[in-house]
Structure formats: structure tokens, C-alpha cells
Structure 1
Amino acid sequence: MNYYNSNTVIYLNGQFVKAEEAKTDLYGQSLHYGFAAFEGIRAYKTHNATRIFKAREHFERLKRSCELTGIPFTWNVDELIKQTYRLLELNNFKDAYIRPLVFSEPQMTLVAPSQTSIMLCAWEWGAYLGDRQLKICVSPFERPNPKSTQIEAKISGNYVNSILATSDAKNKGFDEALLLDHKGLVAEGSGANIFIEKNGKLFTPAKGNILPGITRATIIELCKVLDIEVVEKEITVDFLKEADGAFFCGTAVEVAGIHTVDETVYRQRWRDSIGATLQRAYKNLVLEKVNYEVII
């Protein structure tokens, strides 16, 4: 996939520059050690105009990720939101995936940097995992022990774990991986949270060993509006495989139904599931087709 061309513009440290002319230093911690913070944000073409979904929540989380890990964050969130809309306008994007990245100054030590840079880029991107139900496997790779890193910070280096898990899953013929935590309990996908349907309720792993996603929070808010009970708890693999159904959710993934976990096939038809109801509700929300002002 080509993420940019000769006309693509990015935002770099206060200026809009051509993507193919932008430069970074090869001696930075971010390149060598993965010490950077990022976000994934979506913009949607709605009947009102192009809207960035939950822009403030994403940029506030970017700031929080930097604070948790000692990465200097010196930018104003309102200004970043403004410049992101300008970025979409300059590239003539109506529907887009947006990637802010805070990366470090040139230095090769293992001490947090004193100066950082920020980049905003965007590209047109469809459903990350496609539109069909997914075949997933329980990965041999576990999520990092929460005592080994800031598990709730969206840090670049943490995603080596995700790349290993996804690559392993695809090499085995699956669409995606499901990772367990250090206690052998269900945690999340490589880049998405998971919800499990059983007996008319939804279950999702509790915070502590997962990255609590903004889409995850949105799904929980939608469930309150739709009077769907959500239980946050520790979840075993056996519970997952004995459930009626499951789905992933995330900014890139949006809401994606799961058909099989390893060799276990969910018998419930997707169109009859709570997940399918929430998939439709989420799409209506981001496209502003339904008045859900109570949660946005």
C-alpha cells in the first residue's frame, strides 16, 4: 500500500511539508529503541462535513502516553486538532486514517529525551481487517507484564509484540491473533479490544493488562444507551470458546465480528448477534446518522 505520493502533505513541527521531502534524524531513540508515542484516529465523511471522531480524546491520550513514559509533550491539544483538520483539507481527504507521532531528538542513551518532535500524517484507508467475520487464533505471544512497561500508554515499542503475534497468526492461516496476559487470561487482539457475547450479555477484559481503547469506551457507552449489559472481568480461554459470539473493536478495526477462535466455530449467526447491532450503531454514530449526542 502507498501511504503517500508526490502531492501528499504532512504536518511536522508547526509546518506543512511534502511527505516525500520530510526528514528525520537516524540517531534518535524512536528509531533505535521504539521510544515514541502515537495515536490512530479516523475522520469520516458525514452529511455535516468531514468529522474527526473523538479527536480530543485521542490527542489527550497521546499527551497522557507521553506523560506516563517521560516523553516531553509541549503542544496544545486544541491547536493540534485545528492543524489536523487543516491537514485533511490540504490533502483533500474526506475519509481518512490519521497518525500523530511524537518522537525523540537525536540521542543514543537510555534516558528519556529532553526535546521531541511531532508529526501528523493521514491516508485513505478502508476497514483494517476487512468486512468479513474473522478467523482468529490464541497467540503463543503474551501481552507484556504490566509491571514491565506502561501498559496503558500507546508507545511504539510495545507494538513489536503485536507484529510478532499477527505475523504468527497469518503464517498459520488465520486473520488475526488474540493475545493472553501474563496470567493466561484473555487480554486483547494485536491492535484491538475484544468483547464476548454470552446469554444476552457482553463481557470484556477488565483494565490493568490491556490498552483500554477509545473505541472500547465508545462501545460501552453505546451499550448503556441501548440497554445492553457489559461486564468487565477476568476471562478465561474456555469462557471465550464456550461463548455465543465475539468481536474486536478499535479505531482501525472499527467493529469486526469473530467467526472462529482456533478450531472453535461460533454457531450464532453474526446478523443476529449483539455485536452486529453494535457494529451498525457504531457506524451510525461515526457517520452522524443518529443523534447520540449524549455520548459524544
Structure 2
Amino acid sequence: MSSHWLDDVWMDGAPVPFAQATTHVSTDFALRGLSVFEGIRAYPIDEGPLQGGMHIVGFQHHRRRLLQSARALRMQVDEAYVDEVMEGVLGLVRANAGRDLYLRPTIALRDGAYAAAASRESVTAFVLGRYPAEVGDAATPRTATISPWRHVSAHHFPVHAKVGAQYAQYHLVRADAAERGFDEAILLDAVGMVTETGGASVFRATGGGVETPPLDAGILASVTRGIVQHIVERLTGESVVERAISHEELLGPACVFLTGTLDEVVELAVEGAAPGSEADRHLVAQIIAEYGRQCRRPSPEDIEELDSHVETFTSQTSSWRATWTG
């Protein structure tokens, strides 16, 4: 998936031209992947009472999880520091209003070197932004296989945090799937139960209901996952069932789909799986449509429910340096 980076990067409190936003190779971030991050989407609101604003989906959820992830990695940051980083997200949105955006706020360990005292560590923070590339037709399922690699256990790693180093495994999983001709790969845990893909949550629509692996399967508490759970309840009147799903069950008749900030909601055609019914596919199509509506045409009630943020503008400008108020 190709995309274009924004001209500026927010870095340690100020906008920096993209080419100048650098870090040294000796940092623990570069050497060991010691970072935590969020992936955030912002959409232009194209109609309704909030038309003209930018909808930053689940903004407060992302802020809280960034702080929780930093603490899980024992980084010495507080809420005020995370709030400053999230202000960098808002700065990029203000400077690039009117287009779909993907924002990636990151807190990284600059100098730790396995320090015995946490007080000797120092961190750096930055926010990258880019224009997401157009994805394929939502009505065309993406192909998926089962990865030969097993998901990291919560006993071995803080899997509920978004830690940069964990994405080394996801890179391996995705590369293996691509080599075998698939778009995605689903990870199983040590006993063969479904967890997630390399960056998205897995759901099944089957017989009018929807199910997904529980958080104690070691999966990320995805913001998009939570939004989709609310959508399913609105559409069907029933809650999503959270339960352990075996590999064998995954191959049974159902319409499988994934959810994630960058992927949004996408149907999957899983290798060897029986197809879902027309009713199941229709339900997934409704979920996809409602997710798109909430992102691009949210009501004030949606914003409150999603814990989102809307940036409104009195004028448009392409210069961050003209609009930056941080």
C-alpha cells in the first residue's frame, strides 16, 4: 500500500520539515525498536451538522492507549507529555484539512541502554502523517491464509500495548503471506485458537450473529474493533459474542472480516473456508457502510459515543507554520 508522507513532522514540540526529522542510529529506538505508537485516522466531514470539520476517530481512546502503552514499556512519561504529543496530531490535521489522513504519534526511547535506573532514560516523540492510499473495492474480499507463525503470548510480551518491536513479527507474517500469494495472514495462538492478523482484528458473521476472539486471547484492544462492536449491536440488536475460535471453526460457513484503523472494515476470503450465506455477507456490507458513515458523516452523538474529536476551521491554509499554535 503506497502513500505520500506529509511535508512536515511534529517532533519534540515543533513542526520539522520531513527530510529534517531524523534520529541518530545509536538510539534505543533505532537499535532495538523500543517505541510505542498509535495509528489514527482523520476524515473530512462531507455532510451533516459537522460538515467542513475533520473527524479524528476515537481521538481520546488513542490518547489513553498511547499512555498505557508507554507505561507498559516502563517509559517515564506522564499524561501531560502524551497530551503534548496528541496536540502534534491536531497540528497536522489543522494544516492538512480537507483530505483523508493517517497520523502516527510515536514515543520512542532515545537513550536507555538497559539502564538500571529509569531516571537515566530519555524519550523522544514525533507524529508522522500521510495520505492513505485508496484500498480495493470493499465488496471484493481480501484473501487470507493461516500463518505458520504463532502469536506472541501475553505471558511473554505486553501484547495489549502497541509496541514497535512487536511489529517485527507482523512484518514476517505479512511477508510470508505475500510470498504465498495472499493479502493477509491470520495468527493462531500456541494451542491453535484464532487471535488477529498482523495489525487488525478478526470477526465472523455467522447465522445472523457476529463473533470475535476475546481480548484475553492476547489481541490488541483495537479502537476500530470497539466501534464495530457498537455498530453490530445497533444493526442487529445483539452484542458481538467474544469467545475462543479454533482454526477448524474458522473454516466453517461464515463471512469473515477484519477491522483496523488503516484497513477500516474489509471482508476476508480465508483459504479453505466455506463461504458465508448471502445474509451474512449482507450484514457485513451493512457494517462496512455504517462504519463509513460514522467516519465521514458523524452526528454529534456519534462523536460523543466514539470518544472522537472534531477540528473545525474558519479558513483553510496549507502552511502548518501559519496555523501551528502548539
Give the TM-score normalised by the residue count of structure 1: 0.91
SS at match of 1:105: strand
SS at match of 1:211: coil
Please say if 1:104 is aligned against 2:80.
Answer: no
Q: Deviations over 1:98-150 (max 9, x none)?
A: 00111112343376662111101111003557643111000001110110000
SS at match of 1:141: strand
Please say if 1:88 is aligned against 2:93.
Answer: yes
User: Partner residue of 2:225?
Assistant: 216
Q: 1: distance between equivalents of 2:123 and 2:195?
A: 31
**How many Å apart are 1:222 and its aligned residue?**
1.6
Q: 2: distance between equivalents of 1:270 and 1:12?
A: 48
Contact 1:142 1:182 in 2 (8 A): yes
User: Partner residue of 1:273?
Assistant: 282
Q: 2: distance between equivalents of 1:81 and 1:293?
A: 17
Runs of 5+ consecutive residues of structure 2 not aligned to the other structure: 307-326
User: Partner residue of 1:21?
Assistant: 20
Q: 2: distance between equivalents of 1:161 and 1:270?
A: 35
Contact 1:37 1:156 in 2 (8 A): yes
SS at match of 1:139: strand
Q: Deviations over 1:62-101 (max 9, x none)?
A: 1100111101224535444433222123345621100011
User: Partner residue of 1:114?
Assistant: 121
User: Partner residue of 2:5?
Assistant: 4
Contact 2:10 2:127 in 1 (8 A): yes
User: Partner residue of 1:195?
Assistant: 203
Contact 1:192 1:250 in 2 (8 A): yes
Please say if 1:158 is aligned against 2:166.
Answer: yes
Decide whether aligned partners of structure 1 residues 22 and 293 sit closer, same or farther in structure 2, where only a CA change above 3 A counts.
Answer: closer
**How many Å apart are 1:30 and its aligned residue?**
1.4
Please say if 1:283 is aligned against 2:275.
Answer: no
- Structure richer in helix, relative to its length: 2
Q: Deviations over 1:163-217 (max 9, x none)?
A: 1111111110111100001221000111100111111111100112111201111
SS at match of 2:105: strand
Q: 1: distance between equivalents of 2:97 and 2:242?
A: 41
How many aligned residue pairs are there? 293
Runs of 5+ consecutive residues of structure 1 not aligned to the other structure: none
Q: Deviations over 1:201-238 (max 9, x none)?
A: 11100112111201111111122222133110110111
Give the TM-score normalised by the residue count of structure 2: 0.83
Q: 2: distance between equivalents of 1:218 and 1:66?
A: 23
Decide which moves more: 157-166 or 124-133.
124-133
Contact 1:129 1:256 in 2 (8 A): no
Contact 2:54 2:97 in 1 (8 A): no
RMSD (Å), alpha carbons: 2.2
Percent identity, aligned pairs only? 24
Contact 2:252 2:274 in 1 (8 A): no
The one of 59, 64, 87 aligned to 1:55: 59
Q: Which amino acid aligns with 1:39?
A: E
Contact 1:197 1:243 in 2 (8 A): no
After TM superposition, what 4+ stretches of structure 1 lie above 6 angstroms from structure 2?
none
Contact 2:3 2:131 in 1 (8 A): no
User: Partner residue of 1:234?
Assistant: 244
**How many Å apart are 1:271 and its aligned residue?**
8.2
